[in-house]
Structure 1
Amino acid sequence: MQNNPLISIVVPVYNVEKYLKKCIQSIVDQTYKNLEIILVDDGSSDNSGKICDEFAQKDNRIKVIHKINGGQADARNKALDIMNGEWVSFVDSDDFVSPYYIENLHYLISKYDVDIAITSFVRFYNENTKLSSSKISNQEVLLHNPDEAVKNMLYGKYYSVSPWSKIYKKDLFYNNRFTKGKIYEDFELMPIITSQSKKVAFCDVIDYFYYCRQNSTTKSDFSQKNMQGYEALDSLDRYFSNNLSIKNVLKDIRALSPLTDLPKIKISSDNERVLFDEVSKNINHKRLFILLFSKNINLKLKIKIIFFICFGRHTYAKFERMRLKKRINKIINNEKSGVVYE
């Protein structure tokens, strides 16, 4: 690998004028300079497109694509089609990254000869929360083979299934693209891409700052479109049909998903009652009981499983909805605790 390869950073942009400047500036300010920054304005109706153009006029590393709205997956795909980098990283337009984001990821791919490198992220709810970062120094680096990495990703152990806070060798996207029009496009694609890598490196240094907007965190809704998450599980189950260990992980995720989804359904209409029952079809009490003894599930989740089994889906959903709303409001209203470490 070249010592200083061109790295593409892809930012899908849609109606985020309030957050966009901070996001782009954090990328421009990277200590690693050999970058191709691709901003994809996905038909924004606010000033987002104009902001992208203004940054492009000041920095020749920036390319701007203006396109008709097609969704985040389509925006990412457009960038992948034109990128020139040997490596690619994704950043969401309402988030921002540390100055060492790419430098740290480049260090990992260079030293450990991997196809994917990952660093940690934090969620923050308060725009005024002070956040810090650092270069990789003596932090432990974990190396995972493809199967281990896919399992960790699906369980949310060490790293998430989201495409950001990672860097990928461009070859992994030669025959892979995000599925347009789906809201779980990353959940479906990332495990597949990871399974096609030769090795994954992870370092628990915080480089990515994921902003949870108040209007998106306090609402609790789950529509028919969200059932695409279960369709994504079906798709992954077919892809990994010959991999028994990953198929078992997918069974675990399917059993656990209703614990997250049911509290988001308020059951205030007949359609919501039907949806509640549809999600409930994925409940597998036997699998949940087995998970109580699994090393892959943390204590908090095991407590939720016990509550769910003992009190039933309706009581669990009502209690969990109240608990989440109270917790998020507390975080939002307290600047010092306005960050959640992952």
Structure 2
Amino acid sequence: MENPLVSIIIPIHNVEFYLARCLQSIINQTYKNLDIILVDDGSTDNSLNIALQYAQNDNRILIIQKPNALQSSAKNMGLEFIHGSELRECIFGNTTKVTSYTQNSFNEESKIIDKETILKHFTTNNNHIKTNLEDISTLLTQKLPEDSWIRFVDSDDYLPLDSIERCVRETQNNKHLELVSHSITNDNNTNTNDITCDSLCRYESLSYDNGLEMLKNHKKYISSFCWQGIINTNILNRYNLRHQLGIYCEDLDFGTILYALCRGFLYKNFIGYIYTIRENSTMHYTKTMPQKMPRILEPLRGHFTNYKDLGEYFLSYSKVIAALHIYRFYKQINLQDKKAYKKLFTTYILHYILLYKNKDILNLINKLKEEKLIKYPRLIFLYSKAREIYRHPSRIFKSN
């Protein structure tokens, strides 16, 4: 397509001081053929009202208002509502059913969800949808419209005005592409290529017909994909790929699997995203235990004396869950020479298994054993300890 539609998905939660800047950067993109999906994840400040004001003046904007359940649930909700999806056509058009598949699986078995069932969970007012669902996957996971393009943007960040145009231009020049990636920076203009691009940032341009080969050749052992470019829906449809719920750093396993499924990858060394470092972000913890914390963290409150330790534990937990997802994917994937990539996947899995001190509140070890991921548990633990001691000599911890 000469002028493909790009769906931009923006999760929103209590970002009233940043949201206008973000939305200005989206609506004023030099590339105009945009489908802008704002997912308000239970904001308690003025964020939703700001979003509604922008939606009044731009008919490209769709707002979805849902109960709070962390950013991963908001991203997944946005995916199900991209332009052309059965769910969107069912709610706003004449489609009478939606076909649902198993999430994060190659399983092609499906079930039909009728319109009456769907409308029990959604109410609409023009381009504003309200839902009682925290997690859309409890209702359905669709095949997304083929050959569509998606971009995720965090609501406290923003884009250079030519970001989308430059990405789309590459897809027009290279018809086989499924993933277009670029460099990022922060709002202090400090180059941060190492966060997202690792060994790629020394190149002006780099392309691969196989995303796995890119990972293997460049040893990208941190391969999240949250801000780095645009994604073709064909990749997601191969595995019904969505973000893991109930964890932080949900892009770690999502990104790894995204690359592994990709059949046409391009990296261009231009700044296509500007992110904001702020003290009250999801990943920032003070030592003082707050009166109110994210609901998902509340069960951990009584096990820690300060918020920083609690946050570090939950981050460790999240990375282990990411490792489990990558492991399940590797067991399912059908490759011509699967053994050639065994070391790559093993390294990813080990990289994310960092057990926190002597606490196992959420039964991580049992989860690993149930999945038969721990074949040689002592070796994994020793690897984990050695790496942590190397990075943080003062933080020597014990596992069960």
TM-score, normalisation: structure 2: 0.60
The answer to whether the 8 Å contact 1:154/1:249 transfers is: no
SS in structure 2 of the partner of residue 162 of structure 1: coil
Listed as ranges, the matches of 1:175-190 within 5 Å are: 175-190=240-255
CA, structure 1 residues 246+20, in 2 after alignment: closer, same or farther (shift >3 Å)?
A: farther
Question: Following TM superposition, by how much is the alpha carbon of 1:193 offset from its aligned partner in structure 2, in angstroms?
Answer: 2.6
Equivalent residue for 1:198, pick from 256, 263, 284: 263
- Find the aligned partners of 2:68 and 2:56 in 1 and give their Cα distance: 23
Question: Following TM superposition, by how much is the alpha carbon of 1:273 offset from its aligned partner in structure 2, in angstroms?
Answer: 11
CA, structure 1 residues 272+227, in 2 after alignment: closer, same or farther (shift >3 Å)?
A: closer
CA, structure 1 residues 225+140, in 2 after alignment: closer, same or farther (shift >3 Å)?
A: closer
SS in structure 2 of the partner of residue 8 of structure 1: strand
Structure 1 stretches lacking a partner, 5+ long:
133-138, 289-304, 319-342
Equivalent residue for 1:164, pick from 201, 220, 227: 227
Q: Which amino acid aligns with 1:228?
A: S
Per-residue CA deviation, residues 90-117 of structure 1 (Å, 9 max, x unaligned), is: 0011111111110111112121220110
Asked if 1:9 is matched to 2:18, the reply is no
Aligned to 2:290: none
SS in structure 2 of the partner of residue 143 of structure 1: strand
Per-residue CA deviation, residues 261-289 of structure 1 (Å, 9 max, x unaligned), is: 68xx7x7xx759999x99x974445997x
Asked if 1:119 is matched to 2:214, the reply is no
- Find the aligned partners of 1:107 and 1:153 in 2 and give their Cα distance: 28
Structure with more contact order per residue of length (Cα contacts < 8 Å, sep ≥ 6): 1
Asked if 1:102 is matched to 2:156, the reply is no
Q: Which amino acid aligns with 2:221?
A: Y
The answer to whether the 8 Å contact 2:322/2:352 transfers is: no
Question: Following TM superposition, by how much is the alpha carbon of 1:163 offset from its aligned partner in structure 2, in angstroms?
Answer: 2.3
SS in structure 1 of the partner of residue 393 of structure 2: helix
Per-residue CA deviation, residues 10-39 of structure 1 (Å, 9 max, x unaligned), is: 001011111111111111111111111110
The answer to whether the 8 Å contact 1:154/1:253 transfers is: no
Question: Following TM superposition, by how much is the alpha carbon of 1:59 offset from its aligned partner in structure 2, in angstroms?
Answer: 1.2
TM-score, normalisation: structure 1: 0.70
The answer to whether the 8 Å contact 2:350/2:384 transfers is: no
SS in structure 2 of the partner of residue 55 of structure 1: helix
The answer to whether the 8 Å contact 2:326/2:349 transfers is: no
CA, structure 1 residues 315+173, in 2 after alignment: closer, same or farther (shift >3 Å)?
A: closer
- Find the aligned partners of 1:285 and 1:74 in 2 and give their Cα distance: 32
Aligned to 2:329: 239
Listed as ranges, the matches of 1:72-83 within 5 Å are: 72-83=71-82
The answer to whether the 8 Å contact 2:225/2:255 transfers is: yes
Aligned to 1:140: 204
- Find the aligned partners of 1:235 and 1:162 in 2 and give their Cα distance: 15
Aligned to 2:83: 84
Per-residue CA deviation, residues 142-169 of structure 1 (Å, 9 max, x unaligned), is: 112221234458424xxx4132221111
SS in structure 1 of the partner of residue 17 of structure 2: helix
The answer to whether the 8 Å contact 2:6/2:34 transfers is: yes
Q: Which amino acid aligns with 2:344?
A: V
Aligned residues: 277
CA, structure 1 residues 230+102, in 2 after alignment: closer, same or farther (shift >3 Å)?
A: same
CA, structure 1 residues 273+180, in 2 after alignment: closer, same or farther (shift >3 Å)?
A: closer
- Find the aligned partners of 1:287 and 1:227 in 2 and give their Cα distance: 15
SS in structure 2 of the partner of residue 89 of structure 1: strand
Question: Following TM superposition, by how much is the alpha carbon of 1:7 offset from its aligned partner in structure 2, in angstroms?
Answer: 0.7
Question: Following TM superposition, by how much is the alpha carbon of 1:186 offset from its aligned partner in structure 2, in angstroms?
Answer: 2.0
- Segment drifting more, 56-65 vs 163-172: 163-172
CA, structure 1 residues 131+287, in 2 after alignment: closer, same or farther (shift >3 Å)?
A: closer
Root-mean-square deviation (CA), in Å? 3.5
